[in-house]
């Protein structure tokens, strides 16, 4: 039983390192223009982290599992919210100056120009 647990730990560590290296290589080769859609995709992954953390939290049987679940939910929710905020800011950079202004500012600007004519 103890050797099976050791094999599982090594397999988990190997998969984690392989995933980290693959992610580093893939993200490093993404052009700058594609980082916004990539951020939106990573927000989806953080949503999965929140669901997994909730699952751990709801099925926790001791204080350690409860604290791990709580931290997972807290960090996953923070990453998801921050990722969406960053995505919105990045998408604002691609809008023209007239589109980036709030609706009430454009209307006031149009009324001001209509009075001059």
Mean local confidence (pLDDT), 63-88: 85
Q: Which of 31, 46, 27 is nearest to 85 (CA)?
A: 46
CA–CA separation, 39 and 51 (whole Å): 19
Q: Which two tokens stand for residue 8?
A: 């599982």
Residues 1 and 46 in one domain: no
The structure's pTM equals 0.51
Q: Which two tokens stand for residue 9?
A: 């730990």
Residues 83 and 61 in one domain: yes
Residues 13 and 58 in one domain: no
Residues 59 and 17 in one domain: no
Contact at 8 Å (CB) between 72 and 66? no
Residues 55 and 111 in one domain: yes
pLDDT digits (tens, 9 = 90+) for 2-53: 777 788 888 888 988 998 898 888 777 877 777 667 766 677 777 888 888 8
* Residue range(s) defining the domain that contains residue 40: 32-116
Residues 73 and 107 in one domain: yes
Residues 62 and 104 in one domain: yes
DSSP 55-92: HHHHT--SHHHHHHHHHHHHHHHHHHHHHHHHHHHHHH
Q: Which two tokens stand for residue 84?
A: 């969406």
Residues 96 and 48 in one domain: yes
54: Cα within 13 Å, side-chain hemisphere: 8
């Amino acid at each position: 039983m103890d050797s099976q647990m050791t094999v599982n730990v090594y397999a988990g560590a190997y998969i984690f390192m392989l995933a980290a290296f693959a992610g580093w290589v893939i993200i490093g080769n993404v052009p700058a223009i594609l980082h916004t859609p990539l951020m939106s995709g990573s927000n989806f992954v953080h949503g999965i982290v929140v669901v997994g953390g909730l699952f751990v939290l709801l099925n926790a049987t001791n204080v350690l599992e409860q604290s791990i679940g709580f931290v997972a939910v807290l960090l996953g929710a923070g990453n998801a919210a921050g990722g969406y905020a960053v995505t919105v800011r990045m998408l604002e950079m691609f809008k023209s100056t007239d589109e980036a202004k709030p609706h009430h500012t454009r209307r006031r600007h149009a009324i001001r120009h209509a009075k001059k004519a």
